[in-house]
Structure 1
Amino acid sequence: MNSWERDPAYRTVVRAFVDGDPLDQVGGPLDVRAVVAGIRPEAKDGLLLEEVPWDHFPEGARVREVMERLRSGDAADVSSALGMLIGLCANDMRAAAAPAVPFVIRISTAPEDHHRAEALAVVGEVARMRHQGVCTRADMLRFRGNDEWSFEVTGYLQNWSVQAAREAIAEDTDRLLPLLDDPDPAVRIATAYALAAASDRAQDILTAFRSRLLVEHNPTARAGLVLAIAQLARAHPDPGAVVWMQARWSDPEQPPEVRVCAALGWMCLTDLPVPDELRAMLDDLASDETAQLMAPLPWMQAVETARGSGLHRCLRAMLHPGMAEIEDCDDPWS
C-alpha cells in the first residue's frame, strides 16, 4: 500500500469524490479552490504555513513539511523541497500542492532567492493538468473546462487543484510580471510558463509578453514567449491571436525559433487546414538545431521522449495526426 493510501485524507477524499458527489464539496473544507482563496494576504506574505489546512488533502502532511524546508532558506533544503512538489505533479497529485502556490510565488520573487527558476517551474506545473503532455493541435495548449472532469490518482477532482493554482497566479500577477525582465533567461522562461496559466489578468499579461518579446535577446526565451502568448490566447480567446501568429510564422525577417513556435501556436489556435507555406517553412526551419534550442522549454519537456525531441513529436502529431510513432527515422515527421 502506498503511503498516501494510508493517509486519512486519502480515505476522506475517496468517500467524498469517488463514492459521493464532488459537487457536494463546493466551497467546503475539501474544496481546494476555497482553501487557497481563503489564505489571508498577511499569511501569504509572512509565510504563515500554520494557517493552511494541509491535512485536508492527500500528502498534505508531507507538503507541510517540505514547505517548512522552503521557509528555512537552506539551499539544499529548498532544492529538495521544490523537487518533491514537482514530483507530486508528475505523480498526478496536485491537491496538496495547490495551497503551496502563493507561498512558492513569494519565495520565487524574494530578492535573495537563488532558486527562482525551480520555484516558478513548480508554480507552472501545479497549474496544468496531466494532459498537458499531449501534443495534438487540440490539446497541447488547452486547459480543460469545468464540464470535463478529470480525477487525480487519489480520487481528488483535478480540475479544482489546477483552478486553485491558476487563480493564485492571477492574484499574484503583479509580483510575477517583473521577473520577465530577470537577468537569468531560465527565470524569464519559467515566469512566462507560469503566467500563461493565469485564470485572469490576460490582457495585462499579454501586453507584458509582447513587450518583452520585442527586447528579448535569448533565442530560447523568445521561443518560450511565443508559446506563452499562444497558450494565454488558448485559455482566454483572443480573436487577433491567430492573425498575430500567422504574421510571425510567415515573416522571413523573424528568427527561426519565433517562426516555428508561431506555427505551433497557429495550429493550436485554429482548426483550419495547414497551409503549404507553413509546411514548407517547417521543413526548412524545424531542424535538429531548432529542436535542441527549444528543448529547455517546459512545453517541449512535457512531450519529449527517448524516441524524439519535443518539437519533432509535436510536428508529427500536428501535421500527421494518427501516424504511429517511428523510433528511427531521418525525418521525424515525414
Structure 2
Amino acid sequence: MLTGIEEVDWASLGHAYGPADDVPELLRGLASADPAERETALDGMYGAVHHQGDVYDSTLACIPFLLELVADPAVQDRGCIVELLTSIGGIELDDDDELDELDPDDGEFIPAANYAMAAAAIAAGSDVFLGLVSDPDPEVRLAAPCALASLHPEPARALTLLRERLTVERDTEVRLALVAAVGRIALRHASLRAETVDWLGWLARAAQDPGLRLAALTQRARCAPADIPDDIVPWVTGLLEEIRTSAQGPVAPGTERAATPTLIGQVRELLEEHAAGRPAPWTEELLRTLHAALDDRVDDRIALILAQLRSPDWGQRSDAIWLCGGLIRIWRGRYEEVVRLVGAQLHDPEPRLREAATSFLERLFELGAPAADALAARLAGGPTGVGPGQALGPAQGTGSGSGSAKQAGQAGQTGSRKAGQGGCGGSGPQHGFVGRSGRDGALLALARAGDTRAVPLLARALEEREVRRELLYAMDGLGPSAAMLAPLLRRRLAEVELDERLYDRAAPLLYALAAVRGAQAVPEVLRVLRGAPSNRRDWVREAALRTLAAFGPAAQKAVPDMRGLLTAESATVATAAARALWAAEGDLGEILPALERWLRPGASGADWCSAAQALGEIGPAAASTASALLPGLGARDLWVRVRSAAALWRVSGDTATTLPVLLAAWEENRHARVDVAECLAEMGPAASEAQLVILTELTRRRRHNAREGASGSHDIHLDEKLLTVCRAALARMERGAF
C-alpha cells in the first residue's frame, strides 16, 4: 500500500499552506479503517492539496498514490477518492489559457501546466475506472461514471461501457449517474453527440423506470437544448407524478458516521438532512439540470415550478422553491402565482419547507406582495424570533465564515449519495442551505414587500434584546405608518456604546431613523456624531449626517456640527455635511465652495462622485457649479461620468451635453442603468431620443444585473426598480410626443 511514498521529497513540494510534508499522513488517512480519520484526511486533501480547485506540484505527486488507493478493494470510501481524482484531472482549460499559447514567464503558465499534467497523469491511469463501474460498493459505482466521462482518453469505449452497464445496474442513483455520464460524453465530444441524443431520446420513451426516463429526458435536453420538445412541461410533470406514486417510501439512511470538525463533514450532514424523509431526493438535481437546459424558456420553467408547488409531495414543493430562486434571480417574468403558492408553504408542518419558503420570500421585496397575507398570518400570534448570526444588540459583533465556497462545492460531492448524478449533472450541488430564518425572516419579507402590517411586529422586535439588522434596513419602504417606530429606535440608539464597534451597531439604527423621519432623535444622533471613535470614524460621521439630512429643518440643533464638518478631510463626510446643512437651512453660502473643492484635477473618482451627487440633490440652486462639473463628463472613470452628467442635468437642465454621456454609460456598464434611467425619467420629453433604449430594456427577459453562480440580496429589487423607472421614463417621453 502506497509503495514509494517515502521516496518523494514532500518537504520540497508545496500546497495551499506551504510545504507539503504533511501529505503522506493525509494519504495514509484516506486508507484508514477509522471513518472519522478518512473524512479528516479527505478534508485536508480538498483544503490544502486541492485548495479551491488548484493543482500544485504536491497534487501531481499524489496522483499515483490516489490511483493505487482507488484500485485496492480493501480501502473504504473509495468513491470519495474517485471524486477527488475527477476534480483534480477534470479541469478543462479555457481557450484563453491553452498551454501552448502561454508565455512561460506568464503567471498563469504554471497553474495551467499543472492542470494539463494532472489531466494527462490521471488519463494515463484511467483504465482503473473501467473496472469500478461494477464494483461491489455502490458509492464507488456512483462516482465511477463521471470519472470515465471526464477523464478516460477513449470516450467511445467509455460510452459503450456505460450504456452496457445500464442494462444490469439495479441501484437507482447509480443508474442515474450512468445516464448523466453518457450526457457528459456527448457534450464533450461532438462526434458522439447525434448518436447519443438519439439513444437518450429512445431511453426517455422506452425505459420502464420513470426516474430513468426523467434522467434521459433531462440529459437529452442538456445535449440538444434547441430540440427540446414543446410538450416538455406535461411530459416532465407526468413523470414526477409517476415517480411520486411509485415511490416505496423515504430512502433508508446510510451508515451513521460520527461528526467530524471538517467542512466536508458539515456538508455531508447537510446533504443527509436535506434528503432525509424523501423517497426520491435525486429528482432535484435532475430538474436543476433541466432548468439549465431550458434557459430562457421562462414560461415553461414557471409552468414546471407551478406544477411542483401543487404537488402533494412536500419534497417536490421544496425543490420547486429552490429552483425558482435561481430562475427569478436571472429572468424577468410573471411570478405572481408562484409567489402566492410559495407563501402557502409557510403553513406546512414540514420545517424544511417553511424555511425554504421564508428564505425565498426574503429576497423578493415588492415581488413578495402576493404572499403578504400568508406572511402576516404566519407572524400572527407570537413574538418575533432572531436569526442566527444576524442580530444587532449589546452583544453584537462582526464575524466571518471559515472555509471557501468552492471547497464546499467540491466537498458537497463527498460523503453521501448525491442526487443520482455522480457530479456530472450539469450544475453541481446547489441546495441553497441557509440558517433557519424562522419568524424574523417572514417579518423581513413582509417589511420588504412594503406591507404596513409589518410595523407593529417591527415594534415588538425592537423591544427584544437583539434585532436582526436587515429588519432595520427594511423600514424605508413602509411609509408614514412607520413613524411610530421612531421612539423605539431612538431609545436603542441612546443605548449604543461609543466604542470601537460603534459603526456596526449604530449604522442600521441611523438608517432606520432616517427612513421613519424620526427627527426627535436629533440629540441621540448628535451624540453618535460627536462621539465617533477613531475606528471607522468617517463612516460613523457620514451615517449620522445622512440621518440628519433626512430630518431636514428639524435638525437645526445640529447645524454647528454640520458646518464644522464641511471642511473635513474626507470627501464623504464633507459632502454629507453639505447635504445635511442644505436640508436644514437651505443656505448655499458655505455649501457650494465646500463641494466644489472636490471637483478639481487629481481628485479621486469616489470624491468627485460624492460632490457631484450632492450638487445634483441641490438642483437648480447650484447652477453656478455647472462649469466645475463639465470636466467630469470626459473622465476615464465611468461612474464619474455618470454622476457628473446626472448632476449637470439637475443643476442646469442641459440635455444636449448630458444625454449622450448617459446613453454611452448605459451601453458600457449595465450596473449604471438604474442611475441613468432615473435621470432619463426626470428629463421626460427632452430625452425622447432614448425611447428605443428604454423600450429595448423593457422587452428583455434577462435581468440587467444577473450573474451566473452569484447573487446579492438586493439584485431582484434593483432590477425591478429599473423596470419601474423605465416605465415612468417612457410614459413621460410619450406624453411629451403628443
User: Does TM, scored on the shorter chain, surpass 0.5?
Assistant: yes
CA distance in 2, matches of 1:146, 1:64: 35
CA distance in 2, matches of 1:281, 1:322: 16
1:135-174 aligned at under 5 Å gives the runs 143=92, 145-147=94-96, 160-174=113-127
Q: Are residue 312 (structure 1) and residue 287 (structure 2) matched?
A: yes
- Per-residue Cα deviation, 1:4-56 (whole angstroms, up to 9, x for no partner): xxxxxxxxxxxxxxxxxxxxxxxxxxxxxxxxxxxxxxxx9734364477855
1:106-145 aligned at under 5 Å gives the runs 106-129=68-91, 143=92, 145=94
Deviation for aligned residue 1:145: 4.3
CA distance in 2, matches of 1:199, 1:171: 8
Match of residue 46 from structure 1: 3
1:269 to 208, 223, 234: 223
CA distance in 2, matches of 1:279, 1:98: 46
Paired AA for residue 92 in structure 1 = G
- Kept in 2, the 8 Å contact 1:246–1:266? The answer is yes
1:12-51 aligned at under 5 Å gives the runs 46-48=3-5, 50-51=7-8
CA distance in 2, matches of 1:248, 1:66: 45
1:183 to 136, 154, 169: 136
**3-state SS of the aligned residue for 2:62?**
helix
Deviation for aligned residue 1:161: 4.5
Q: Are residue 254 (structure 1) and residue 208 (structure 2) matched?
A: yes
Give the structure with the higher percent helix.
Answer: 2
- Kept in 1, the 8 Å contact 2:15–2:59? The answer is no
List structure 1 runs of 4+ shifted beyond 6 angstroms.
154-157, 324-329
Match of residue 212 from structure 1: 165
2:59 to 77, 97, 105: 97
Deviation for aligned residue 1:232: 1.8
Match of residue 33 from structure 2: 75
Paired AA for residue 97 in structure 1 = T
Match of residue 227 from structure 1: 180
- Kept in 1, the 8 Å contact 2:225–2:293? The answer is no
- Kept in 1, the 8 Å contact 2:214–2:286? The answer is no
CA distance in 2, matches of 1:103, 1:148: 28
CA distance in 2, matches of 1:322, 1:84: 42
1:85 to 26, 45, 51: 45
Paired AA for residue 189 in structure 2 = H
CA distance in 2, matches of 1:54, 1:213: 45
- Per-residue Cα deviation, 1:206-241 (whole angstroms, up to 9, x for no partner): 222112111001111000000011112222221311
**3-state SS of the aligned residue for 1:113?**
coil
- Kept in 1, the 8 Å contact 2:27–2:65? The answer is no
CA pair 285-70 structure 1, distance change in 2 beyond 3 A: same
Match of residue 198 from structure 1: 151
CA pair 98-234 structure 1, distance change in 2 beyond 3 A: farther
Paired AA for residue 94 in structure 1 = V
Q: Percent identity?
A: 22
- Per-residue Cα deviation, 1:98-156 (whole angstroms, up to 9, x for no partner): 44233212111113211211211211222344xxxxxxxxxxxxx55444679xxx967
CA distance in 2, matches of 1:156, 1:199: 24
Match of residue 283 from structure 1: 237
CA pair 156-84 structure 1, distance change in 2 beyond 3 A: farther
**3-state SS of the aligned residue for 2:22?**
helix
- Per-residue Cα deviation, 1:132-189 (whole angstroms, up to 9, x for no partner): xxxxxxxxxxx55444679xxx967765454433333321222221111111211101
Match of residue 259 from structure 2: none
- Kept in 2, the 8 Å contact 1:70–1:78? The answer is no
User: Where does the alignment leave 5 or more consecutive residues of structure 2 unmatched?
Assistant: 100-106, 255-266, 275-282, 310-316, 325-738
CA pair 322-149 structure 1, distance change in 2 beyond 3 A: farther
Paired AA for residue 93 in structure 1 = D
CA distance in 1, matches of 2:79, 2:152: 21
- Kept in 2, the 8 Å contact 1:250–1:278? The answer is no
CA pair 222-158 structure 1, distance change in 2 beyond 3 A: farther
- Root-mean-square deviation (CA), in Å? 3.9
- Kept in 2, the 8 Å contact 1:169–1:194? The answer is no
Deviation for aligned residue 1:266: 1.4
Match of residue 132 from structure 1: none
CA distance in 2, matches of 1:213, 1:263: 16
- Per-residue Cα deviation, 1:277-315 (whole angstroms, up to 9, x for no partner): 44332122246859x98xx9xxxx9xx9x8x94333333
CA pair 285-322 structure 1, distance change in 2 beyond 3 A: closer
- Kept in 2, the 8 Å contact 1:317–1:323? The answer is no
CA pair 149-257 structure 1, distance change in 2 beyond 3 A: farther
Match of residue 138 from structure 1: none
- Kept in 1, the 8 Å contact 2:126–2:152? The answer is no
- Kept in 2, the 8 Å contact 1:149–1:158? The answer is no
CA pair 165-260 structure 1, distance change in 2 beyond 3 A: farther
- Per-residue Cα deviation, 1:79-103 (whole angstroms, up to 9, x for no partner): 3222222345572323353442332
Q: Are residue 244 (structure 1) and residue 199 (structure 2) matched?
A: yes
TM-score (norm 1): 0.64
CA distance in 1, matches of 2:71, 2:239: 36
User: Where does the alignment leave 5 or more consecutive residues of structure 1 unmatched?
Assistant: 1-43, 130-142
CA pair 278-317 structure 1, distance change in 2 beyond 3 A: same
CA pair 246-55 structure 1, distance change in 2 beyond 3 A: farther
Paired AA for residue 290 in structure 2 = L
Report how many aligned residue pairs link the two structures.
263
Deviation for aligned residue 1:190: 0.9
Paired AA for residue 230 in structure 1 = G
- Kept in 1, the 8 Å contact 2:221–2:290? The answer is no
**3-state SS of the aligned residue for 1:82?**
helix
CA pair 200-243 structure 1, distance change in 2 beyond 3 A: same
**3-state SS of the aligned residue for 2:72?**
coil
CA pair 281-205 structure 1, distance change in 2 beyond 3 A: same
Paired AA for residue 258 in structure 1 = L
CA distance in 1, matches of 2:78, 2:292: 33
CA distance in 1, matches of 2:67, 2:169: 23
CA distance in 2, matches of 1:226, 1:176: 16
CA pair 278-202 structure 1, distance change in 2 beyond 3 A: same
- Indicate the structure whose relative CO is greater, using CA pairs within 8 Å and at least 6 residues apart: 1
Larger Rg over CA atoms: 2
- Kept in 2, the 8 Å contact 1:144–1:159? The answer is yes
CA pair 144-257 structure 1, distance change in 2 beyond 3 A: farther
**3-state SS of the aligned residue for 1:91?**
helix
